């Protein structure tokens, strides 16, 4: 640690603003609520909640909120505002992914860097007196939580909101696809064809292919810094199920009961470890389960709104 960094650490929290190291996350403010993380994942310092609202977090920055119980929330990545084309861009003619339509994400938001893990969900379950979800023998820890319903996922987001004083929620379907595509228009964020060793699914070329989850972060992130947007587990989103994109919002908001939405069924995205079709892990792939179902291949990724 440099002399400058030592001086910074000795300052009172409300006065602390210093630069720490070129090529790393450089804004550091100490206080009670937010943690800024360097790109390799090393904790830098804690950022005051009162000052966090005034800080212009940049796209790609990673942070954690401090919870009331003294532990840290999930790693969150800042996703920039922008526009994209949503749906089956390659023109395969699949009804539920058509018509392709323009969506404008007007404000930056943050998304969980990894799928929510058993460690993170189990903390919530124990705190709220819920039964722990079954891991199907795959293991817990840093493996993505499974056997959680859409209702469970929204309850977890609400608990995180109460613990941090920030708004956590499921991503909208448009936000999910925008973040998963990360500026690309190919079937997968890395290109047109499946490439071995980039995701966990039955046809993803992992070694060895297994019918089980892998710990989060086992493969490369997409250009926005999100891991496992292809394979591992599918991820619940906010939206009710619609049979097509006719009438879908163009502003990235959740599409619920409007235009004959089926809100007993909720959308999940992203492919899973058991996916055996390349089409089912494409950026445009979407499926539905009833909101109370707890499949063994569907988990959670969250959004945290930025002030």
In degrees, rounded to 5, the angle at the alpha carbon of residue 87 between the alpha carbons of residues 86 and 90 is 115
**Is residue 224 included in any domain, yes or no?**
yes
Q: How far apart are CA 31 and CA 45, in angstroms?
A: 9
Within 10 angstroms of residue 18's Cβ, the number of other Cβ atoms is 17
pLDDT tops 70 at residue 240: yes
**Is residue 98 included in any domain, yes or no?**
yes
User: pLDDT band at residue 198, thresholds of 50, 70 and 90?
Assistant: very high
pTM, entire model:
0.85
pLDDT digits (tens, 9 = 90+) for 214-226: 999 999 999 999 9
User: pLDDT band at residue 199, thresholds of 50, 70 and 90?
Assistant: very high
Within 10 angstroms of residue 48's Cβ, the number of other Cβ atoms is 18
pLDDT tops 80 at residue 301: yes
**Is residue 234 included in any domain, yes or no?**
yes
Mean of pLDDT values over 253-258: 94
pLDDT for res 10: 52
**Is residue 32 included in any domain, yes or no?**
no
> Taking all residues of the chain, what is their mean pLDDT, rounded to a whole number?
86
Q: How far apart are CA 227 and CA 194, in angstroms?
A: 16
**Is residue 29 included in any domain, yes or no?**
no
pLDDT for res 22: 34
Q: Give me Rg for the CA atoms of the chain.
A: 19
Q: Are 30 and 13 in contact (CB under 8 A)?
A: yes
**Is residue 62 included in any domain, yes or no?**
no
Residue 175, CA atoms < 13 Å, CB-side half-sphere: 28
pLDDT digits (tens, 9 = 90+) for 149-191: 999 999 999 999 999 999 999 999 999 999 999 999 999 999 9
pLDDT for res 230: 96
Per-residue HEC secondary structure of the chain comes to CCHHHHHHHHCCHHHCCEECCCCCCCEECCCCCEEEECCCCCEEEEECHHHHCCCCCCCCCEEEEECCCCCECCCEEEECCEEEEECCCCCCCCHHHCCCEEEEECCCEEEECCCCEHHHHHHHHHHHCCCCCCCCCCCCCCCECCCCCHHHHHHHHHHHHHHHCCCEECCCHHHHHHHHHCCCCCCECCECCCCCCCCECCCCCCCCCCCCCCCCCCCCCCCCCCCCCCECCEEEEEEEECCCCCCCCCCCCCCCCCCCCEEEEEEEECCCCCCCCHHHHCCCCEEEEECCCCCCCEECCCEECCC
* Containing structural domain, residue 248: 80-304
Q: Are 268 and 302 in contact (CB under 8 A)?
A: no
pLDDT digits (tens, 9 = 90+) for 27-51: 334 344 666 665 544 444 444 443 4
**Is residue 289 included in any domain, yes or no?**
yes
pLDDT digits (tens, 9 = 90+) for 73-115: 999 999 999 999 999 998 876 889 999 999 999 999 999 999 9
> Domain containing 143 — which CATH number?
3.90.1580.10
Mean of pLDDT values over 270-285: 92
Tokens describing residue 12: 């009172």
pLDDT tops 60 at residue 52: no
Number of domains in the chain: 1
**Is residue 229 included in any domain, yes or no?**
yes
pLDDT for res 24: 40
Where residue 205 falls (left for φ over 0; alpha for ψ -120 to 50; beta otherwise) is left
User: pLDDT band at residue 211, thresholds of 50, 70 and 90?
Assistant: confident
């Amino acid at each position: 640690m440099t002399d400058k960094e030592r001086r910074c650490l000795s300052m009172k929290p409300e006065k602390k603003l210093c630069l720490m190291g070129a090529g790393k996350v450089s804004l550091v403010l100490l206080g009670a609520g937010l943690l800024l993380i360097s790109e390799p994942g090393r904790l830098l310092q804690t950022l005051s909640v009162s000052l966090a609202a005034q800080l212009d977090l940049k796209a790609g920055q990673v942070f954690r909120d401090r919870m009331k119980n003294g532990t840290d929330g999930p790693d969150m990545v800042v996703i920039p505002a922008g526009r994209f084309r949503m749906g089956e861009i390659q023109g395969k003619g699949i009804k539920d992914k058509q018509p392709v339509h323009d969506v404008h994400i007007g404000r930056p938001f943050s998304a969980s860097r990894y799928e929510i893990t058993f460690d993170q969900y189990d903390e919530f379950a124990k705190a709220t007196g819920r039964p722990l979800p079954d891991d199907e023998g795959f293991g817990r820890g840093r493996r993505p939580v499974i056997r959680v319903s859409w209702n469970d996922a929204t309850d977890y987001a609400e608990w995180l909101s109460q613990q941090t004083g920030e708004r956590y929620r499921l991503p909208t379907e448009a936000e999910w696809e925008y973040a998963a595509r990360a500026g690309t228009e190919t079937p997968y964020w890395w290109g047109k064809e499946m490439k071995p060793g980039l995701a966990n699914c039955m046809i993803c070329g992992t070694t060895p292919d297994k019918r089980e989850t892998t710990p989060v972060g086992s493969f490369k992130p997409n250009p926005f810094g999100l891991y496992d947007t292809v394979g591992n587990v599918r991820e619940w989103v906010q939206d009710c199920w619609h049979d097509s994109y006719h009438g879908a919002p163009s502003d990235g908001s959740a599409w619920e009961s409007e235009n004959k939405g089926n809100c007993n069924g909720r959308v999940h995205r992203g492919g899973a470890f058991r996916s055996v079709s390349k089409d089912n892990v494409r950026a445009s792939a979407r499926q539905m389960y009833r909101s109370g179902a707890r499949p063994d291949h569907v988990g959670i990724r969250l959004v945290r709104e930025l002030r």
